[in-house]
Amino acid sequence: MDAWVEVWRQSRGPERLLRARWCSSYACRLKGLMFRRRLADDEGLLLVDSGESRMSATIHMWFVFMTLGVAWLDKDQRVVDLQLARPWRIYAPHAAARY
């Protein structure tokens, strides 16, 4: 069973951004959004690692058939990088990230 969480922006006052599937297992993080063709406007995936590093926060876009807006967060839930991720590429954050 999938767990869902709400993602909020706090910098300009509380604002709900989207509903995301909590993804902390290796299998879930590996599959991610592979083979998906679209997401709802308010839907996302929250990849959760046990530690904080650039390597473990690296993502692949293999078999992801859409462009995604990606935000990496550190252990304190601060944004450390933003990327517009396109299919068939690999992306790593510029700083260590946990989410």
pLDDT of 2 > 90? The answer is: no
Q: Which single residue is written with the structure tokens 């706090």?
A: 10
pLDDT interval class at 1 (50, 70, 90): very low
Confidence at residue 12, expressed as pLDDT on a 0 to 100 scale: 86
pLDDT (tens digit per residue) in 72-89 = 999 999 999 999 999 999
pLDDT (tens digit per residue) in 27-62 = 999 999 999 999 999 999 999 999 999 999 999 999
3-state class percentages of the chain: helix first, strand second, coil last, to nearest 5: 5, 40, 50
Integer Cα distance of 69 and 46 in angstroms: 12
